[in-house]
């Protein structure tokens, strides 16, 4: 059954990458850190994929990285939720979380 599930994931899911911006106080600069790969339904529109990635990387009842659709990419035991200014990569396109919606980069 695991092989069938993996095959279905390959056919019907797409991985998008979520990037958080963090202040590096030692180097006095802002670092971009890939924090998650999120499996989203491949048939969704780009906007729906962005919204799903945003929703799945926000903690509500549990830490967002405990979600089965998430592959944790950050080091350590904690990462904040996705917020305004962060980015999501869908295919070869980058989108920035705006105060309302998304801005294509």
Can you tell me the distance from the alpha carbon of 76 to that of 39, in angstroms, rounded to the nearest whole number? 21
pLDDT at 1 over 80: no
Give residue-wise pLDDT tens across range 73-91: 999 898 999 999 999 999 9
Tell me what pLDDT residue 95 has. 97
State the residue range of the domain holding 27: 2-104
Continuous H helices in the chain: 2-12, 46-56
Give me the phi and psi of 47, to 5 degrees please: -60, -40
Question: What per-residue confidence (pLDDT) applies to 12?
Answer: 84
- Per-residue pLDDT, 69: 93
pLDDT at 5: 64
Helix, strand, coil proportions of the chain in percent (round to 5)? Answer: 25, 40, 40
Q: pLDDT at position 40, please?
A: 96
pLDDT bracket for residue 9 (50, 70, 90): low
CA 72 to chain centre: 9
> Which helix (H) or strand (E) segment is 39 a member of?
strand 29-41
Q: Domain tally for the chain? A: 1
Straight-line distance from the first to the last Cα atom of the chain, in angstroms, rounded to the nearest whole number: 40
Per-residue pLDDT reduced to its tens digit, 29-48: 888 899 999 999 999 999 99
Structure confidence at residue 27 (pLDDT):
75
């Amino acid at each position: 059954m695991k092989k069938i599930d993996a095959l279905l994931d390959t056919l019907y899911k797409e991985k998008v990458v979520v990037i958080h911006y963090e202040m590096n106080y030692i180097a006095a600069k802002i670092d971009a850190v890939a924090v998650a790969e999120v499996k989203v339904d491949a048939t969704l529109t780009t906007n729906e994929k962005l919204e799903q990635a945003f929703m799945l990387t926000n903690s509500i009842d549990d830490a967002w990285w405990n979600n089965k659709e998430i592959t944790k990419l950050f080091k350590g035991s904690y990462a904040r939720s996705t917020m305004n200014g962060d980015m999501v990569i869908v295919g070869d396109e980058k989108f920035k979380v705006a105060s309302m919606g998304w801005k294509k980069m």
